[in-house]
Amino acid sequence: RNLPKEATYLLAMMALLVPGALLSPVWRGGAFFATIEFFKAYIAWMLTFLLITTVARLRRIVFIQAASVGIVSAVAVIKGHSVPRLDGVLGGIYSNPNDLAFAIVLCLPFSLMFLLSSKSGIRKAIWAVLMLFMIAAVFLTASRAGFITLVLSGSVCLWHFGVKGKRPQLIVIVALLGVVMLAAVGGRLKQRFFAISGNVQDNVDQSAYGSYEERSFLMHKSVEGILHYPILGVGVRNFITYSGKWKEVHNTYLQLGVEGGIPVLVLFFMFFARGFRNLRLLRKMRDLDSETVLLGGALHSSLIGFVVGAFFAPEAYQFFPYFAVAYTSVLFAVVKEREPVLQSTISPEAPRELAGSYAGSSLPRPRYR
């Protein structure tokens, strides 16, 4: 396969981060090694596109990702249900409650896809239980950004699977589940939302309102950094030092703008625009099988979740969103590659003009899987 344009945009974006790191006004060594670490995402992206050549293989990779996050969510809820916001219950990228909530929301559409496509009752039950843990974990993190992302990504998911997929019962079940979850484990989340208004009554409210004020300051500081260093930025992971607060700005777009510069931010937008383009072209294709339709809907929901959640979280260097775009590229490429297979199935005895009659004509195409 030839690599698509989105691969070029991602490589160019990462390449521009290198001079930004080497010329950083803050910490050159730290920015350089953080940039090299981020380059792993491109290697994984390229291998994903080149090696996954069937929908079955793509579903297997997505299955591993969704199941892993589901198990992580179950462990977090069981192990730390009494820990405020599940903070530090797990290590690594899941130690921060906001990052944990973000990762869960991006994988929920895939989990629902597997639940709907599973033919075994046992598998459906397992996915249903995992999804309950995932949703409970999002509420227990009390992440306001995670909840907003969940609502918007979930709405897109219900549009694809419930409305267009003609499953009205799914919408009713999700609505009821949301009400139950909010009543059962959403108390701290509601407090954190009310605290934004400035009505502070206890320690939880004070912490939430303080977080809101601090994030507002960091956003203004990041805009200041973009104006001072618009071309190369301050270097990857250097904003926490530049801000003077030792905190990241909770906005992916501002994070990339201040640390990578405006050209990197533009390439970032172009990269994700290609993901949505792949799905848009895919939806225009005829006679897609049910598995492809479900996977396309899940990918669209996940990408919408990232684009919205990126306004509230510093996720510029998380690998999950970049993989989601890789999945759209793979799915679009696989479906396009099916066309020669269709034509090769036509009988050799058929007139030659029949073999090419499906291209550019209104004749119905044969169904394929």
This prediction's pTM: 0.87
Distance CA 204, CA 137 (A): 19
Give CA separation, 302 vs 107, 149, 172, 272, 297, in Å.
7, 10, 21, 12, 9
CA atoms within 13 A on the CB side of 40: 8
Distance CA 247, CA 239 (A): 8
Pinpoint the alpha helices (H) of 186-251.
Answer: 187-194, 203-228, 239-242
Confidence (pLDDT) at 322: 95
pLDDT confidence band for 151 (50 / 70 / 90): very high
Q: Residue 95: what are its φ and ψ, rounded to 5°? A: -75, -30
For the segment 234-250, what is each residue's pLDDT rounded down to a tens digit? 999 999 999 998 999 99
Residue 272, exposed/middle/buried by CB under 10 A (0-12, 13-18, 19+)? buried
Confidence (pLDDT) at 341: 54
Residue 192, exposed/middle/buried by CB under 10 A (0-12, 13-18, 19+)? buried
Retrieve residue 210's tokens: 């303080």
- Give which of 338, 231, 238 is closest to 282, Cα–Cα: 338
Average pLDDT score over residue span 352-359: 40
pLDDT confidence band for 189 (50 / 70 / 90): confident
Distance CA 329, CA 195 (A): 42
For the segment 78-107, what is each residue's pLDDT rounded down to a tens digit? 998 888 889 888 888 788 898 899 999 999
